[in-house]
Amino acid sequence: MTIIAGEAYLMSMNPLVTTGVNSIWTAYQSQMEAVEDRLRLILKDVLPLASEMTSYIVSGGGKRLRPLLMIISSRLCHSEGDASILLAAVVEMIHTATLLHDDVVDSAELRRGKPAAHQRWGNQPAILVGDFLYANSLWLAMGLHNDEINDSLTLACKKMSEGEILELFLDRNLKASEEDYFNVAACKTATLTASTCRLGGILGGISEKGKTHLEQFGYFVGMAFQVADDALDYMASVDRLGKTLGRDLAEGKMTLPLIHCLAHVPSSSRLRLQSMIGSGESRNADLEEVLDLMRETGSIEYSLSRAREFTRLAQENLSAFPDSPARQHLFALSDFVISRDM
């Protein structure tokens, strides 16, 4: 049995990244392999016509952060049954569905270093297979007949879709505030990681207080991840993260580094920066200019400091649990999500 994604993928991307999470992957290898098997099984059983596309997407080298959060949260709460494997597959499919639609909406060319699915198969299947992954995931989760799980997962899905729309309204919006940005990040990323961790607590039957701490942990991990990811967009190169540098600038996405830079740039440069954001035709020369301004305003360092703050808040929530290997792994994972490319 081979792991399609996960460790091997991370190794191939950047050896430095994986050193820290190696031990985590090893500790959960059998469960994570079971998740991969489950994903393959789900996608093989249904919809043979679309199987090529779905396996390209779902096995396309995701970091499996959400399944890993699910599996470790479950172990933290002494629940390691089949339900945690199923839900790990479910949250990964929900995440993949949003990526599919995201990439169509953003006209993205690459996803994880490979052509985005809609580039290869067209927008139509990408939209519809996204719908299918989403519907199939919820149907599988509802089959557990657990109201707490249903409420948490469907609320997360609702919030995620709200976040996607809010984000669209922020594009090239020069009035976007840090608060707007954090609200979008909370909706589109942190609600699913929060729900994922809460599901582990639900399966383990722990106290409401414990579930809230786990949910908060997942929430802040999601925030840390998103803020770091948006900072990396101004730092990463294509061979390291499978995405192109400055894609957010080209798309007019008002992420934290840009919002911070716009607020702190000397007034002599503000109009120039505004026109580059608003133009809709960002060139490499623009990117260089923006990066120079960000160095002046310290916007990338500021963003990374906010990400570290979210990690700290995540880790604080773990203190509610007794020490265990699972708690240590969650702790390490919350560091990893902001350091994966540094």
- Footprint of a copy of itself on this chain (CB under 8 A)? 46-47, 49-50, 98, 101, 104-105, 123-125, 127-129, 131-132, 134-136, 138-139, 142-143, 145, 147, 150-151, 154-155, 157-158, 160-162, 164-166, 168-169
Q: Which is nearer to a copy of itself, 14 or 150 (CB)?
A: 150
Q: Which is nearer to a copy of itself, 157 or 206 (CB)?
A: 157
SS3 for the chain is CCCCCCHHHHHHHCHHHHHHHHHHHHHCHHHHHHHHHHHHHHHHHCCHHHHHHHHHHHCCCCCCHHHHHHHHHHHHCCCCCHHHHHHHHHHHHHHHHHHHHHHHHHCCCEECCEECHHHHHCHHHHHHHHHHHHHHHHHHHHCCCCHHHHHHHHHHHHHHHHHHHHHHHHCCCCCCCHHHHHHHHHHHHHHHHHHHHHHHHHHHCCCHHHHHHHHHHHHHHHHHHHHHHHHHCCCCCHHHHCCCCCHHHHCCCCCHHHHHHHHHCCHHHHHHHHHHHHHCCCCHHHHHHHHHHHHHHCHHHHHHHHHHHHHHHHHHHHCCCCCCHHHHHHHHHHHHHHHCCC
Are 294 and 300 spatial neighbours (Cβ–Cβ below 8 Å)? yes
**Which pair of tokens denotes residue 269?**
């440069």
Exposure letters 302-315 (e unless 16+ CB within 10 A, then b): bbbebbbebbebbb
> At its nearest, how many Å lie between a copy of itself and the CB of residue 318?
29
> At its nearest, how many Å lie between a copy of itself and the CB of residue 127?
6
Q: Which is nearer to a copy of itself, 155 or 238 (CB)?
A: 155
> At its nearest, how many Å lie between a copy of itself and the CB of residue 11?
34
Q: Which is nearer to a copy of itself, 134 or 217 (CB)?
A: 134
> At its nearest, how many Å lie between a copy of itself and the CB of residue 338?
27
> At its nearest, how many Å lie between a copy of itself and the CB of residue 28?
29
Q: Which is nearer to a copy of itself, 46 or 263 (CB)?
A: 46
Q: Which is nearer to a copy of itself, 230 or 251 (CB)?
A: 251
> At its nearest, how many Å lie between a copy of itself and the CB of residue 299?
26
> At its nearest, how many Å lie between a copy of itself and the CB of residue 80?
24
Q: Which is nearer to a copy of itself, 121 or 331 (CB)?
A: 121
Q: Which is nearer to a copy of itself, 72 or 126 (CB)?
A: 126
> At its nearest, how many Å lie between a copy of itself and the CB of residue 125?
6
